[in-house]
Amino acid sequence: MLLGVDIGGTKVLALAVDGKGGRVLGRSKRKLKGLDPESVLKRAWRCAREALEAAEASEHDVRAIGLAVPSAVDDGTALLAPALGWHRVPVVELAGRVFPRRRIYLGNDVNLGVAAEFLRGAARGGATVTGVGGAVVHGGRLLRGVGGLAGELGHVIVVPEGRRCGCGNAGCLEAYASKTAFLARIKEAIFDERRRSQAAAAIRPDTTMIGSNELRRSYRAKDRVVREVVDDGLRLLGLAAATVINILSPSHVVLGGGVVEAFGEPLVRRVRGWAAPHIFGGQERAATIVRSALGDDAVPLGAALLAQAKGRLLT
């Protein structure tokens, strides 16, 4: 049995997976909030234990463990994870004190999610696959680039001198087409421009998170503020996807994450529609834009596959 654990900014998701990395046998999810690395790992282990219980297995059945973090990763260390407030955290070493004594491997969450989609999901057997979250599989390998920084598609500039991004740049896709960006723009509309919105019921000036389902509800109810903000984000996502298609000519561009899961296929169709006119040499290639088949499981499944591959997944 393998364990794959996705440690995100707000939650941990753990999967117990069969030894071949093919079947999910148990899963568990726990909320996370502003904890130090050791407490986060303790909570991650608790979550993993619940996944094992759900699979009717025990820690003695675990062969290897894969951990995913929202960070560039080098040799078992998370270099920089803004979502967790981590800087140079030796995750594998710390996890070795909390988790059972098994081999533990660490990977970047988006790389692992895209790898899982390539090996088991929406892009199975694809040629070049990219996820707009920011990873590229080319020729069966994860593209690392110099310094491991390839594939940061969230930081493609879509608006010259546009909104500030968490990375310090301005006008990045992530500053428009992420849940954080949606919330920031909805707050501006409600509190600065004094516009009316259904979403206002769930949002205060100090609110830092909005649920994907809440967004979908207001969007479906044709709330004008939410429509404008989300549609603008999806339009820019379409432009970025077209850019990716023009540069890489991939077999699949996989869209994933909470908002994509909540909005489903209609969101993917809108993104395709906005991408199509900008695709070089044929609008039909917009069809390569697809929804993640694995959903929330993509990243922890990728972590389990990393463990199965002894740390060398698609390298």
Q: How far is the CB of 155 from Zn ion (least distance, A)?
A: 4
| Span from 68-76, 161-169, 221-229, 266-274 in contact with Zn ion (CB under 5 A) | 161-169
- 155 touches Zn ion (CB under 5 A): yes
Distance in angstroms (rounded) separating the CA atoms of residues 111 and 314: 10
| Span from 66-74, 105-113, 149-157, 277-285 in contact with Zn ion (CB under 5 A) | 149-157
- CB count, 10 Å around CB of 179? 17
Burial 28-63, CB ≥16 within 10 A → b, else e: beeebeeeebeebbbbbbebbbbbbebbebebeebe
- 167 touches Zn ion (CB under 5 A): yes
Q: How far is the CB of 105 from Zn ion (least distance, A)?
A: 28
Strand partners, 68: 6, 107
Nearest CB to Zn ion, comparing residues 98 and 172: 172
Alpha helices in the chain (DSSP H): 37-54, 91-98, 109-120, 179-187, 212-220, 224-248, 258-263, 265-275, 298-308
- Judged by CB under 5 A, how many residues of this single chain contact Zn ion? 5
Which strands sit side by side in the sheet containing 72-74, from one edge to the other? Answer: 72-74, 77-81, 86-89
Q: How far is the CB of 264 from Zn ion (least distance, A)?
A: 27
- 169 touches Zn ion (CB under 5 A): yes
Distance in angstroms (rounded) separating the CA atoms of residues 222 and 199: 11
**Among the listed residues 312, 139, 163, the one whose alpha carbon sits nearest the alpha carbon of residue 236:** 163
Q: How far is the CB of 177 from Zn ion (least distance, A)?
A: 11
Interactions with Zn ion, residue window 219-278 (CB under 5 A): none
| Span from 81-89, 157-165, 208-216, 287-295 in contact with Zn ion (CB under 5 A) | 157-165
The structure tokens listed for 113 are: 């999610």
Q: How far is the CB of 169 from Zn ion (least distance, A)?
A: 4
Nearest CB to Zn ion, comparing residues 35 and 167: 167
Nearest CB to Zn ion, comparing residues 1 and 173: 173
Q: How far is the CB of 304 from Zn ion (least distance, A)?
A: 30
Q: How far is the CB of 8 from Zn ion (least distance, A)?
A: 19
Nearest CB to Zn ion, comparing residues 175 and 230: 175
Are 149 and 135 in contact by the 8 Å Cβ rule? The answer is no
Q: Look up residue 223 and give its DSSP letter.
A: -
* φ/ψ of residue 16, rounded to 5: -100, 125
The residues, ordered by sequence, that sit 6+ positions from 247 with a Cβ below 8 Å of its Cβ are: none
41, 129, 143, 172: which one binds Zn ion (CB under 5 A): 172
Nearest CB to Zn ion, comparing residues 77 and 178: 178
Give contact residues for Zn ion (rule: CB under 5 A).
Answer: 155, 165, 167, 169, 172
